[in-house]
C-alpha cells in the first residue's frame, strides 16, 4: 500500500483522529492538574517565608536587633531542609547579617534569580523573597523553592510518560474500534461485489442490533429484494411479450402475404385492411405494456394531489350509463358526495374505467352492474360488482398478472393487460384489491388507504399487496 493510499484509508484516518482526540484530552487533563498543583506549592513556599518573617519579628520583640541577628545566625547553622536566605541592613544601609545579595525592594512575595555564597562556593539559585521593616532595619527573607522545582521536573517526566501511553493506548483502542466497524462495512462491500458478480440472491448479514449499520444492511436487503422482484417481473414480461406478440405478428405477416398475392383485387384490399387492423392491435398491446411499465417505474406518490373520488365515480356513471342502458343492463351508481383521496386523478379514473369495462365485457347483456362508493372505518371502498359468471376462486390470484386471460374469456377481444394496469395503479396508490364472490358474479373491492399515506409508508409498502391479499 502506498503512503497516500494508506492515509486515505478510512480505518487509518479514523484511528489517527481517535489518537489525536485522546491526546488532546490527556494534555488538557495534565495541564489542569499541573496548574492546580503549582498554585498550591507556590502558596506553601510563601507561607514558609511569612512564617520565618513572623519568627524574626517575634525575636525582635523579645530581644531587639541583636536577638534577630542571633536567630538568623542560629538558623543558618542549623541544618534545615529548605534553605533560607537573609539580608538585614540598618537604616544607614550597613549590612548586619546577610547571605543574600541586595535585591530590589518590592512589596509582597517575589521570585528572584540570585547568586549566593554557600560555604565559600558561589551558587546560582532562585528564591521566593519578601522584604519587611523591623525597627529601623530592613529585613529580606528568601526561601529556595526547591520542592517546587523537583516536582516540576517530576511532573514533566510523568506527563511525557502519560502522553506516550496515551498515544499507544489511543492508537490501539482506535484501531480496534475501527476494525470492528470496518469489518462490517467490508462485509457489505463484499456482498455488493458478489451481486455484481452475478450472485443476485446474496444478502448482507444483519445482527438485530438495530444500530445504524444494521439499519443500512436491512435497507440494502429490502432494496435488493425489490430489485429482485422487478428483475424477475421484467424477465417474465419480456417472455410474455415475446410469446404474446408472436401470434399477432405472424398473423400480420400472413395477411400482408395474402395482400401481395392478391394485389389489386377486392380480396387483396380486404387483407390489407385486416393487416392494418392487426398492426393497430399490436401497437395497442405495446402501449398497454408501456403504460403499465410507466406506472410501475416512473410514477411516484410525490405527484399525488387531492382527488375528488366522488366526482370521478359520477363521471364514470354518466359515461357508461348510456352504454349499459343500451345493453339492457340495470346500472346502479351509488356514490355519496364529497369523498376525496390522495392520488393521481387520471390513473384512478383509468383504473376504475378498466374495472367497469371488464364487468361490461365479460358478463351477458341484460345483467346488472353496480358501482358503489362506501366509507369504511377511516378509509373508503369502491366496489364494482356484476352478476356474471364470476371468477373461480383458484383463478383469482392470476387475473392481475400480465397477459393472463382466463379460458372462458379467450373469445372476447383484449390483450390481457387491463387488470395488470389496474393492479399497478392500485399498488402505486397503496390500494388493496379483493376479488369476492358476489354469488353469482364478481365483486371487486378497492380499499383505499385509511389516511393520506406519508412518504415512509409509501416507500416501505409491500411490493405486491394485491397478491398478498388475494392469495
For other proteins, the closer CB: 85 or 320: 320
Segment 68 to 87, residues that bind other proteins, using CB under 8 A: none
**Torsion angle, alpha carbons of 464, 466, 467, 470, to 10:** 160
For other proteins, the closer CB: 134 or 299: 299
Q: Which three cell numbers stand for residue 55?
A: 519568627
DSSP of 394-437: GGTTGGGSTT---GGGTTS---S-HHHHHHHHHHHHT-EEEEEE
Q: Which three cell numbers stand for residue 297?
A: 417505474
Instruction: In angstroms, give the least distance from the CB of 295 to other proteins.
Output: 8
Continuous segment of H or E residues that includes residue 369: strand 369-376
Map residues 398-437 to x or -, x wherever contact with other proteins holds by CB under 8 A.
---------------xx---x-------------------
Are the C-beta atoms of 343 and 304 separated by less than 8 Å?
yes
DSSP of 198-236: T-TT------S--SHHHHHHHHHHHHHHHHHHHHHHHHH
Find the binder of other proteins among 190, 269, 294, 455 (CB under 8 A): 294
For other proteins, the closer CB: 45 or 356: 356
Segment 171 to 210, residues that bind other proteins, using CB under 8 A: none
Find the binder of other proteins among 55, 67, 357, 397 (CB under 8 A): 357
DSSP of 4-48: HHHHHSHHHHHHHHHHHHHHHHHHHHHHHHHHHHHHHHHHHHHHH
Find the binder of other proteins among 4, 303, 305, 411 (CB under 8 A): 303
For other proteins, the closer CB: 60 or 400: 400
343, β-bridge pairs? 305
Find the binder of other proteins among 189, 190, 234, 287 (CB under 8 A): 287
How many residues interact with other proteins (rule CB under 8 A)?
A: 29
Q: Which three cell numbers stand for residue 220?
A: 440494502
Segment 266 to 285, residues that bind other proteins, using CB under 8 A: 283-284
Q: Is 118 in the site for other proteins (CB under 8 A)?
A: no
Stretch that binds other proteins, among 62-70, 150-158, 293-301, 459-467 (CB under 8 A): 293-301
Q: Which three cell numbers stand for residue 309?
A: 373520488
Other beta carbons within 10 angstroms of residue 347's beta carbon come to: 21
Q: What gap in Å lies between CA 8 and CA 363, rounded to an integer?
A: 70
Segment 363 to 382, residues that bind other proteins, using CB under 8 A: none
Instruction: In angstroms, give the least distance from the CB of 234 to other proteins.
Output: 18
Instruction: In angstroms, give the least distance from the CB of 458 to other proteins.
Output: 17
Closest CA to 221 of 235, 207, 240, 237: 207
For other proteins, the closer CB: 85 or 400: 400
Find the binder of other proteins among 202, 353, 395, 467 (CB under 8 A): 353
Instruction: In angstroms, give the least distance from the CB of 279 to other proteins.
Output: 9
For other proteins, the closer CB: 147 or 286: 286
Closest CA to 403 of 378, 420, 381, 388: 420
For other proteins, the closer CB: 44 or 311: 311
Plot region of 222 (φ>0 → left; ψ -120 to 50 → alpha; else → beta): alpha
For other proteins, the closer CB: 58 or 318: 318
CA distances to 24, 243, 459 from 218, rounded to whole Å, are 37, 37, 14
Map residues 312-351 to x or -, x wherever contact with other proteins holds by CB under 8 A.
---x--xxx-xx-xx-----------------x-xx-xx-
Continuous segment of H or E residues that includes residue 85: strand 84-89
In the numeric block, the cell 538585614 is attached to 88
For other proteins, the closer CB: 361 or 375: 361
Q: In what order do the strands lie in the sheet with 432-437?
A: 331-334, 369-376, 379-386, 442-447, 432-437
Q: What gap in Å lies between CA 349 and CA 60, rounded to an integer?
A: 114
Stretch that binds other proteins, among 19-27, 40-48, 109-117, 290-298 (CB under 8 A): 290-298
Find the binder of other proteins among 291, 368, 463, 465 (CB under 8 A): 291
Are the C-beta atoms of 59 and 70 separated by less than 8 Å?
yes
Stretch that binds other proteins, among 235-243, 332-340, 356-364, 379-387 (CB under 8 A): 356-364
For other proteins, the closer CB: 165 or 346: 346
For other proteins, the closer CB: 4 or 305: 305
For other proteins, the closer CB: 327 or 436: 327
Instruction: In angstroms, give the least distance from the CB of 354 to other proteins.
Output: 8
- Tell me which residues touch other proteins (CB under 8 A): 283-284, 287, 290-291, 294, 298-299, 303, 315, 318-320, 322-323, 325-326, 344, 346-347, 349-350, 353, 357, 360-361, 413-414, 418
Amino acid at each position: 500500500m502506498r503512503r497516500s493510499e494508506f492515509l486515505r484509508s478510512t480505518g487509518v484516518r479514523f484511528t489517527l483522529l481517535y489518537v489525536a482526540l485522546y491526546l488532546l484530552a490527556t494534555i488538557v487533563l495534565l495541564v489542569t492538574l499541573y496548574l492546580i498543583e503549582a498554585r498550591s506549592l507556590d502558596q506553601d513556599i510563601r507561607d514558609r517565608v511569612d512564617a520565618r518573617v513572623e519568627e524574626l519579628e517575634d525575636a525582635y520583640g523579645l530581644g531587639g536587633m541583636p536577638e534577630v541577628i542571633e536567630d538568623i545566625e542560629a538558623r543558618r547553622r542549623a541544618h534545615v531542609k529548605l534553605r533560607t536566605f537573609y539580608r538585614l541592613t540598618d537604616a544607614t544601609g550597613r549590612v548586619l547579617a546577610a547571605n543574600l545579595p541586595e535585591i530590589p525592594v518590592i512589596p509582597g512575595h517575589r521570585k528572584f534569580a540570585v547568586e549566593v555564597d554557600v560555604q565559600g562556593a558561589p551558587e546560582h539559585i532562585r528564591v521566593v523573597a519578601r522584604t519587611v521593616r523591623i525597627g529601623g532595619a530592613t529585613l529580606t527573607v528568601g526561601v529556595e523553592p526547591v520542592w517546587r522545582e523537583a516536582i516540576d521536573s517530576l511532573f514533566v517526566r510523568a506527563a511525557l510518560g502519560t502522553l506516550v501511553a496515551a498515544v499507544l493506548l489511543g492508537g490501539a483502542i482506535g484501531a480496534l474500534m475501527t476494525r470492528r466497524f470496518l469489518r462490517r462495512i467490508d462485509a457489505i462491500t463484499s456482498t455488493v461485489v458478489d451481486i455484481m458478480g452475478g450472485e443476485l440472491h446474496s444478502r448482507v448479514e444483519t445482527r438485530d442490533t438495530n444500530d445504524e449499520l444494521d439499519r443500512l444492511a436491512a435497507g440494502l436487503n429490502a432494496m435488493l429484494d425489490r430489485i429482485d422482484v422487478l428483475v424477475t417481473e421484467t424477465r417474465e414480461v419480456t417472455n410474455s411479450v415475446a410469446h404474446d406478440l408472436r401470434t399477432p405478428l405472424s398473423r400480420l405477416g400472413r395477411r400482408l402475404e395474402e395482400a401481395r398475392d392478391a394485389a389489386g383485387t377486392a380480396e387483396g384490399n380486404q387483407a390489407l385492411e385486416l393487416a392494418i387492423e392487426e398492426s393497430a392491435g399490436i401497437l395497442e398491446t405495446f402501449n398497454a405494456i408501456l403504460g403499465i411499465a410507466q406506472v410501475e417505474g416512473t410514477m411516484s406518490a410525490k405527484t399525488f394531489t387531492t382527488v375528488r373520488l366522488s366526482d370521478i365515480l359520477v363521471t364514470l356513471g354518466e359515461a357508461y350509463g348510456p352504454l349499459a342502458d343500451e345493453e339492457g343492463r340495470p346500472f346502479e351508481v351509488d356514490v355519496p358526495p364529497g369523498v376525496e383521496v390522495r392520488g393521481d386523478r387520471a390513473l384512478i379514473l383509468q383504473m376504475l374505467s378498466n374495472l367497469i369495462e371488464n364487468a361490461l365485457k365479460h358478463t351477458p347483456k341484460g345483467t346488472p352492474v353496480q358501482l358503489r362508493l362506501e366509507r369504511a372505518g377511516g378509509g373508503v371502498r369502491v366496489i364494482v360488482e356484476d352478476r356474471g359468471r364470476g371468477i373461480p376462486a383458484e383463478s383469482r390470484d392470476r387475473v392481475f398478472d400480465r397477459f393472463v386471460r382466463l379460458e372462458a374469456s379467450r373469445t372476447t377481444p383484449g390483450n390481457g393487460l387491463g387488470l395488470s394496469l389496474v393492479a399497478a395503479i392500485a399498488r402505486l396508490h397503496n390500494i388493496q384489491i379483493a376479488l369476492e364472490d358476489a354469488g353469482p358474479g364478481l365483486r371487486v373491492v378497492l380499499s383505499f388507504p385509511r389516511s393520506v399515506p406519508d412518504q415512509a409508508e409509501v416507500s416501505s409498502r409491500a411490493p405486491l399487496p394485491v397478491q398478498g391479499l388475494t392469495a
